Chains A and B, each alone.
Chain A
């Protein structure tokens, strides 16, 4: 079965209309080892930027509705012999909360796994998770391994709690499910439309950050995200893997290289400051949610992904201020 899978696979991608999903679909279409791609999008199928063809089927599904997902899996996906489901869909806005968001982030994962477990052709499920699931604090290692404590704080925002719950929902089924389940905990992708808090943070011409602290941050690109998912698709394994990016640098250097002005600010002023900014500019950045990442360093350790999946981050961020490096400023 493995050899057959290596030969040609059918893949279903959720969240296909988002930048990562779309790039992933394109990458699969360029991959001769992928037989057919079903792109599941939350928007009308005809709005999808790639025209359907004999290797691509585009279907609109509301992931909050289990029946719609069921009908896709046990309809076109079964007919096309889909073997792998890649779940990349996440609610992007950190400001939105409530049952509908939870249903999209968590219940959709639970539902997807249940459906796939009794599906006749699906053998593997890949879940795109996030580094935000990890706890960062001063007495924890800076280099975050897969066994690092998760952020289970009661006062964590729903954005974080949902990601942790979705991640664990997949993790608890590993080994007991007939599926091969792979969870990829991705570093923040510094790109629009990915739900990146860091990207939102850097959108302001002036970036206020905690004075006296300059933590190391690790940033991922969409290219490396897609590369990691592709590696995971073709690896014959399951488990949890950290996916770091090629850029590991201090926060202030990231601010400078993005062409922004960083202003060190007392930590206790940053919460109210960013709340004000959000009110006036509609920004999605929540300081409280990122506070610890902005004080204590946290860098994903990608050794396991390298050893098992063969993933090595190799596509660095295209810094807007790349010609004037931090060292020059």
Chain B
């Protein structure tokens, strides 16, 4: 099981802050995971309609879309950050 977490408008569109998911073995990178998620239903399709603007963190570190997700225990998706 992998914990997926969503923040800000990604969370609002998906409709939940987190979930535990069994990822298929053919999903190898953070980018592929977004494509897979987008096909899971209307709310996911809406959240991941433009994956280029979504940032990904694996186990609380920023990663690029081509980063492998093998061994990840927590993967987070969120819009560009606006703190400070």
Whether both chains belong to one complex is answered with no
